[in-house]
Structure 1
């Protein structure tokens, strides 16, 4: 009887303790917060896109994942932050495709001038076969490429009007440190000068350079219109902004949230692409309002000059990457 009473007492105590324990649902736990580093300022369409990504992710995961954006290069330049993402010290870094060629050399195929006929081709490439190759290489670096924002096609801002290929003769133009872009302007007869982005305005003002090139919205945002009153629609290059997530951060995402997370990121970066279109259209109207003149040019003449220069240099690309690019061009018109 004594043993039975003791057993009953223990069982009663265990039941009471179990009844007092509250099961805390996963949703009420502290959210996972990722740091998203970018060099662009909060006034840019790129920041607006990042904010949309953060909004969509929080909504899709019921607040279980949040993204904190640190803009303006506070955490370092593009290459710096990508390297920090590789080591897991930053969760998400952004970098232009030309920067990523430092880590994935095969990506230089995307740096070619006049590669894509339109934005639809450019999107289809990274959302499809080229993107798959990039992801495969990125995984070996400890990165997950979770999407592509963009700064789109680049055009020329110049002190003097440029309306035909001959007008490029002797023009000193700032470009990125990119052999394909520089070769293109050399082929046009210009004198390309590699220069840090932050030095362009002063260089234009002092006459060190005669022109620069970028998305039209950047001409307005950076005040280049104060010293360059001409914009020429060259559409000579298309620039992507990769979203690189560290393996360390990716592995923190619960399995049940990974698909909703990626779908939310996609909604965000697709919104950014439209924000850029809107920003370029708005900037065009503003620039016209302050006296900037827009010029068309015979792009076929520019392309022919570049292709001749490229053939002379004998540039070749990885066969698998070339096939992926060719597939995109053949299937998307």
Structure 2
């Protein structure tokens, strides 16, 4: 009889331990790693940290996002491919690089496409954004929001004041056929390379110039080797926030809507922060000796227009219609 009581006690204890273990597992914090090519002190890094904060608050700390800047998880292509393989949780990738995975996105690579930030936001947050999400999903990536590097300008070792100054200028571009064609039409020599290699290339004079948001020039300290910025505003660039399928499936179904909404809140914060950062960066860069130049954007646009025809002809009509920018 005593033996039977002991046996029942052991069984009850085993069940109790099992139940406690299940409860602990159900309460376990889900941690994700989010990669950026830019430093964590940049507006992109601060935007990513805001996303992490919004997600943590909305999920009562059940989901934590750790941010890794300066290419610690790889360049943009590496991160996207890593997310496809499930080795990267959250990738951030600029749309010109994403075009190499989703060719229809070349619609967004056209130069001088938008005149205002509002136009750009309406497109990416609308039907075109949904088309992109569906294509990415087919590749195992869940796009849950869009940050941005906004309007891009040229920064260079020698001044660029007019179209002729692009002649034989070696300029770093993203790995994007449309962007390469644009700078070729200006007479420049496009040199695709990861953003993480750009500073050293400028320092060693492997390239003469780069192109990005004004705030990016300050955050990455390119001003240490270049003293000229030309306000070309030649392209508006979005930064997709994409979860691997493996990471997405770790999020409980009841938390997925609030997770997505929180990411969007954080991304919207980064968009606003970028506008402020660009304005502040222009003031600061001028104070440390960087010279800003205006340029005839219509002349640049006319120079690029003929080369762009071959690219737009490849884009499906529904993508063009969804963009509402080529009509």
Q: Check whether the contact 2:152–2:235 (CA below 8 A) recurs between aligned residues.
A: yes
Structure 1 distance, partners of 2:123, 2:33, is: 28
Distance 1:171 1:37, change over 3 A: closer
> Equivalent of 1:287, from 282, 285, 288?
285
Structure 2 distance, partners of 1:112, 1:172, is: 21
Structure 1 distance, partners of 2:40, 2:176, is: 27
**What are the residue-to-residue correspondences of 1:221-240 with 2, within 5 Å?**
221-240=219-238
> Equivalent of 1:174, from 161, 168, 172?
172
- Superposed displacement of residue 167, structure 1: 2.7
Structure 1 distance, partners of 2:55, 2:100, is: 30
- Superposed displacement of residue 31, structure 1: 2.2
- Superposed displacement of residue 231, structure 1: 0.9
TM-score between the two structures when normalised by the length of structure 1 = 0.84
> Equivalent of 2:317, from 319, 327, 330?
319
Write out per-residue CA displacement over residues 149-206 of structure 1, whole angstroms, 9 at most, x where no aligned residue: 1111110112333222233233332222322222222222323233443443444344
Structure 2 distance, partners of 1:70, 1:172, is: 30
Per the alignment, residue 309 of structure 1 pairs with: 307
Structure 1 distance, partners of 2:217, 2:256, is: 38
Structure 1 distance, partners of 2:66, 2:199, is: 31
Structure 1 distance, partners of 2:200, 2:34, is: 30
Structure 1 distance, partners of 2:25, 2:261, is: 19
Q: Which moved more, 1:94-103 or 1:229-238?
A: 94-103
Structure 1 distance, partners of 2:70, 2:197, is: 16
- Superposed displacement of residue 39, structure 1: 2.5
- Alignment gaps of 5+ in structure 2: 1-11
CA radius of gyration, larger in: 1
Q: Check whether the contact 1:116–1:329 (CA below 8 A) recurs between aligned residues.
A: no
Structure 2 distance, partners of 1:111, 1:250, is: 28
**What are the residue-to-residue correspondences of 1:40-59 with 2, within 5 Å?**
40-59=38-57
Write out per-residue CA displacement over residues 194-233 of structure 1, whole angstroms, 9 at most, x where no aligned residue: 3443443444344443322111112222332233222111
Structure 1 distance, partners of 2:156, 2:248, is: 44
> Equivalent of 1:147, from 145, 154, 159?
145
- Superposed displacement of residue 46, structure 1: 1.0
User: Is 1:35 matched with 2:56?
Assistant: no
SS class of match (2:233): coil
Q: Check whether the contact 1:121–1:329 (CA below 8 A) recurs between aligned residues.
A: no
Write out per-residue CA displacement over residues 18-57 of structure 1, whole angstroms, 9 at most, x where no aligned residue: 9xx99x9899822222222222221211111111001011
Q: Check whether the contact 1:27–1:64 (CA below 8 A) recurs between aligned residues.
A: no
Runs of 4+ in 1 over 6 A off after TM superposition: 24-28
Kindly report the root-mean-square deviation, in angstroms, between the aligned alpha carbons of the 2 structures.
2.8
Q: Which moved more, 1:143-152 or 1:278-287?
A: 278-287
- Superposed displacement of residue 111, structure 1: 1.6
- Superposed displacement of residue 146, structure 1: 0.2
Structure 2 distance, partners of 1:293, 1:275, is: 23
Q: Which moved more, 1:245-254 or 1:266-275?
A: 245-254
Structure 2 distance, partners of 1:312, 1:101, is: 16
Structure 2 distance, partners of 1:45, 1:295, is: 24
TM-score between the two structures when normalised by the length of structure 2 = 0.86
Per the alignment, residue 88 of structure 2 pairs with: 90
- Alignment gaps of 5+ in structure 1: 1-13
Structure 2 distance, partners of 1:127, 1:36, is: 22
Distance 1:191 1:248, change over 3 A: closer
Equivalences, count = 313
Structure 1 distance, partners of 2:305, 2:173, is: 18
User: Is 1:115 matched with 2:113?
Assistant: yes
